[in-house]
Amino acid sequence: MEALLKVSNLKTYFSTSSRQVKAVDGVDFEVKKGKVLCIVGESGSGKSMTSLSLMGLVPGPNGRIVEGEVMFDGEDLVKMDEKRLSDLRGNKMAMIFQEPMSALNPLFKIGEQIMEVLMRHRKLSRNEARSKAIAQLRSVGFPQPEMIISSYPHQLSGGMRQRVMIAMMMACEPKLLIADEPTTALDVTIQAQVLDLMRNLKHQTGTAIIFITHDLGVVAEMADDMAVMYAGQIVESGAADVVFDKPLHPYTLALMGSIPSITEDNERLITIPGTVPSAANFPVGCRFAERCSMARGSCHTSMPELRELSPGHFVRCALV
């Protein structure tokens, strides 16, 4: 199937005079039209920096894309100027974050904020934008959208704000929606509702979604395709059913075998002995070797390539 987005050898580093943090270090993946790609990995593996890189939102001046290509709908986002990128954002591609409060302006009513997006990107009149905003809010499950549009962000719960963000982003019918841990801050029941909502919207609008999470349970529910990230790289990717059925990278195996421990906020934590190496000081060989029960000598000295072991199934491990 045709790719909407194709990321090749993407590298995003933070550099200061004293050190270099390789947040994203040679990432390859693609997103098919209308499909959900889940990117999963432990905290610090580079998931957020990957998504910010795609949106042209890497925090400068220290952070920047140093190498790679991001082909989106026929154009390379890495080479695109800021004006053109900001036209694309909220239009052909949109992003929702873990904490929607950060993306909503506390000083303006919800309705004004959704209408602003619609007037700017879809060139609707005020009246058209108002009707569309109401329709969008209804579509994300608010039975009385007229009440929501005249509310301020702080008057809504976290789950309601996240649904508002989804309504706002989907209003522009983007070709690609990037959702960076959109349900992590929500309690489990609300989380399930938001996931349902995103799945429905995907079916209705054909929007492709990059869904970032550290929760494999969420991947199992949402993903058509998945990519497992570790220490700034993809270590395994492919169709979600194939990867779940036959995980090949020792890290993926460890993730899938790891016992979920339920913490107070119901977050499923990944528990694999050892820690992710520092992005300021990666080892020369395989970045998982330190924690890998199968590692041999050569794993510590040479970095394995991401290889296609069966059609569409990629693995970065010398042992498989």
Interface contacts to Mg ion, rule CB under 5 A = 47-48
Q: Measured between alpha carbons, how far is 233 from 41 in angstroms, rounded to an integer? A: 10
Cβ(319)–Cβ(302) below 8 Å: no
Q: How far is the CB of 117 from ligand ADP (least distance, A)?
A: 25
- Tell which one of 88, 279, 289, 315 touches ligand ADP (CB under 6 A): 279
Q: Measured between alpha carbons, how far is 305 from 284 in angstroms, rounded to an integer? A: 13
Q: Does 277 bind ligand ADP (CB under 6 A)?
A: no
Closest CA to 70 of 25, 9, 26: 9
Closest CA to 175 of 223, 212, 224, 208: 208
Look up residue 127 and give its amino acid. Answer: N
Contacted entry of ligand ADP, Mg ion, none for residue 59, CB cut-off 5 to 8 Å set by kind: ligand ADP
Q: How far is the CB of 263 from Mg ion (least distance, A)?
A: 17
Phi and psi (nearest 5°) for 307? -115, 145
Closest CA to 64 of 96, 23, 27: 23
Q: How far is the CB of 159 from Mg ion (least distance, A)?
A: 20
Q: Does 63 bind ligand ADP (CB under 6 A)?
A: yes
Cβ(4)–Cβ(176) below 8 Å: yes
Closest CA to 106 of 178, 155, 39, 159: 155
Q: How far is the CB of 178 from Mg ion (least distance, A)?
A: 12
Binding part of the chain for ligand ADP, among 44-52, 85-93, 220-228, 291-299 by CB under 6 A, reads 44-52
Query: How many chain residues are in contact with ligand ADP, going by CB under 6 A?
Result: 14
Q: Does 26 bind ligand ADP (CB under 6 A)?
A: no
Q: Measured between alpha carbons, how far is 192 from 196 in angstroms, rounded to an integer? A: 6
Q: Does 14 bind ligand ADP (CB under 6 A)?
A: yes
Look up residue 33 and give its amino acid. Answer: K
Q: How far is the CB of 210 from Mg ion (least distance, A)?
A: 13
Binding part of the chain for ligand ADP, among 41-49, 117-125, 251-259, 304-312 by CB under 6 A, reads 41-49
- Tell which one of 4, 31, 40, 49 touches ligand ADP (CB under 6 A): 49
Closer by beta carbon to ligand ADP, 30 or else 180? 180
Q: Measured between alpha carbons, how far is 261 from 256 in angstroms, rounded to an integer? A: 13
Q: Does 48 bind ligand ADP (CB under 6 A)?
A: yes
Q: Does 45 bind ligand ADP (CB under 6 A)?
A: yes
Q: Measured between alpha carbons, how far is 72 from 78 in angstroms, rounded to an integer? A: 10
Contacted entry of Mg ion, ligand ADP, none for residue 49, CB cut-off 5 to 8 Å set by kind: ligand ADP
Q: How far is the CB of 17 from Mg ion (least distance, A)?
A: 26
Q: Does 100 bind ligand ADP (CB under 6 A)?
A: no
Query: What one-character DSSP code corresponds to residue 89?
Result: B
Q: How far is the CB of 209 from Mg ion (least distance, A)?
A: 16
Closest CA to 178 of 207, 199, 143, 204: 207
Give residues in contact with ligand ADP (CB under 6 A): 14, 21, 23, 41, 43-49, 59, 63, 279
